[in-house]
Amino acid sequence: MHIALAQSNFCVGGIKNNTEQIIKLVNEARKLGAHIIIFPELAICSYPPEDLLLRKALYEQITNAILQISAESNDIDIVIGFPEKTASGTYNACSYIKEGKQQAIYYKQNLPNYGVFDEKRYFSAGSECCLIDLNGIPTALSICEDIWSPNVAQQAKEAGARLLININASPYHTDKQAERESILKQRVEETGLNIVYLNLVGAQDELVFDGASMIIDSGGNFVFRAPQFEEGLYLIDVQQHADKLEFHSALPSASILDRHESIYQALVLGVRDYVRKNGFKGAVIGLSGGIDSALTLTIAVDALGAENVEVLIMPSRYTADMSNDDAQEMADILSVTYHILPIELPFSAFTELLQPVFSDLPTDTTEENIQARSRGVLMMAISNKTGKLVLTTGNKSEMAVGYATLYGDMAGGYAPLKDLSKTLTYELANWRNSQEQVIPQRIIDRPPSAELRPDQKDEDSLPSYDVLDPILARYIELDQSPDEIVNAGFERETVLEIVRMVDRNEYKRRQAAPGVRITRRAFGRDRRYPITSGYQEF
């Protein structure tokens, strides 16, 4: 038997286009000689559809899509995911289609309701095993979270299955692939089943789905791995013997990406799909000569192509000449169009206009923020004229403590670095330069600065990033208390001040652009704190 794994990239809610893509892949699999093609979780509407699942018309469109897809199954079987509304509830479903008809349907039993998942808001849980016959191989169907606990695989074994198909929309975070492989090994050790694990690829708002589909045999051997972050149709030959199934692929298994490469590819895919799926013509970036905008530009060019990226260099009276030089050098290296638009005129106009109101008040961060907001106006103007999306350049460290200007450097539609600490930003810049020198070394070596007042450095306002970032990781991603962080070796007053900064800046983060999630706890879908709160931890 030949199995085709459709590691595919679909658009949430784009049922018509998704259906056309599915049918195209069915035809391609047929030409390759496949007996069955398998698609990811909720492929027809893609994942996560969120409150689209509350729309009656969604299910009408899905019914029509299933009829179209079923009509293509006369000589090839299809396993595909979609939401199904019934009299007893709405289910995250997986259908086995053969000879033009749905022969069997499975309802997801384990509904995740943590982190970025809220499936219990929409779905009822199934309870029954679904066993089908694939060319004489008793095969059970399952969906994503079902593989993360023993019950569904055990149920399949007791029903007589030899093969378990698990279709997924499993989002990426660092080290996720190692977790998946560990879980699959546990299920095989418990049941002796062979497992086909198929995952969605592509990006949806903050989430990135990295593919990395796999097959593990009953001996616990990974006999095939598909690439991460790449679409593909992979044909697997299955040979049945009395005591085991053997799997063979004409293509070699993909290598597992290292940490920095996987994070970087997630960022590239996140930017590419957000721009493409939302119909923007490219990206606009404010290039300052600093590390954050440099890495953002590199990601954008790798995602969209230099011809689709436009750069604004917007010096102020406080911008160092080397910043302008480095920004222009980088734009030249990457062959992007750039414009030099000094902000002295709008900044002077705003300060002159406000002078009667501010006459008795000292200069403070207000004037710094006016500079940042002048840049925001210019970037949004170019965006409006060109149809290109403004990519903001702030990182997780800055957003955590509020070291960013609302409607200034926070102005824009998408934030590639939103879930990267400043430390990781430097690491990725060095990794990208190790592939090809695209970021001038002086940008990496210089102390970071907003350059909104004379001789300004980030460390004037913040602890050094080698102190700040570990504290933020413990407080935000690990939910440690201030006392636990202090007991880990950090200075108490520093910890308490950082915690205060994080807590009082929730209102800023709520207004920030969405960005790529690469950690277990990102701002946005993962970490949901009230803006107005009297809670104190110390």
Inter-axis angle of helices 259-277 and 291-304, nearest 10: 70
Count of beta carbons in the 10 Å neighbourhood of residue 450: 21
Q: Is 41 a catalytic residue?
A: yes
Q: Hey, what are 365's tokens?
A: 């961060």
Q: Hey, what are 174's tokens?
A: 């660092």
What gap in Å lies between CA 198 and CA 246, rounded to an integer?
18
Q: Are 290 and 443 in contact (CB under 8 A)?
A: yes
What gap in Å lies between CA 194 and CA 191, rounded to an integer?
9
Q: Are 523 and 392 in contact (CB under 8 A)?
A: no
Residue 60 neighbours by CB under 8 Å, 6+ apart? none
Q: Which of 84, 94, 108, 129 is catalytic?
A: 108
Count of beta carbons in the 10 Å neighbourhood of residue 65: 22
Q: Hey, what are 71's tokens?
A: 């009509």
Q: Which of 119, 144, 368, 388 is catalytic?
A: 144
β-strands 36-38, 2-7: how paired?
A: parallel
ω into 48 cis (within 30 of 0): yes
| Beta partners for residue 347, in sequence order | none
- Provide the CB-side half-sphere exposure for 405 (13 A, CA): 18
Q: Are 341 and 284 in contact (CB under 8 A)?
A: no
Q: Can you give the length of the chain in residues?
A: 538
Tokens 């030949």 correspond to 2
Q: Is 144 a catalytic residue?
A: yes
C-alpha Rg value of the chain to the nearest Å: 26
Q: Vertex 107, ends 105 and 111: CA angle to 5°? A: 160
The DSSP element (H or E) to which 70 belongs, if any, is helix 56-70
Residue 133 neighbours by CB under 8 Å, 6+ apart? 139
What gap in Å lies between CA 225 and CA 252, rounded to an integer?
8
CA-nearest of 72, 83, 4 to 43 is 83
Q: Is 94 a catalytic residue?
A: no
Q: What share of the chain is helix, strand, coil (3-state, %, to 5)?
A: 40, 20, 40
Residue 419 sits at φ, ψ, to 5 deg, of: -110, 15
Residue positions annotated with a catalytic role: 41, 108, 144
